[in-house]
Chain A
Amino acid sequence: MSVLEADSEMLYAAVSGLLAERGLVTKAEILERMAVTDAASPALGAAMVARAWTDPAYADLLVADGTAAAEEVGVMMRGLPPLGVLRNEALLHNLVVCTLCSCYPRAVLGYPPFWFKSPAYRARTVRDPRGVLADWGTVIGEDVRIRVVDSTADYRWMVLPMRPAGTQGWSQERLASIIRASDMIGVTVPTAETVREPT
Chain B
Amino acid sequence: MTLKAGALVRIKDEWPEALGPVHCRTPHYVRGKAGTVVRHLGDFPDPGDIAFAREPALRRLYHVAIPLDRLWPEEPQGELVIEIYDHWLERGA
Contact = CB atoms under 8 A, between A and B. Distances in A.
Interface residues on A, range: 20 to 34
B76 A149 contact: no
B61 interface: yes
Contacts of A151: 83
Interface string A173-199: 000000000000000000000000000
Contacts of B20: none
Interface residues on B, range: 20 to 34
Given A126-B71, A148-B78, A155-B83, 17 more contacts: A82-B41, A82-B42, A84-B41, A127-B74, A127-B76, A128-B74, A129-B68, A130-B76, A146-B78, A147-B78, A148-B80, A148-B81, A149-B82, A150-B82, A152-B82, A153-B61, A154-B83
Interface of B: 25-27, 29, 41-42, 44, 47, 61, 65, 68, 71-72, 74, 76-85
Interface of A: 82, 84, 99-100, 126-130, 145-155
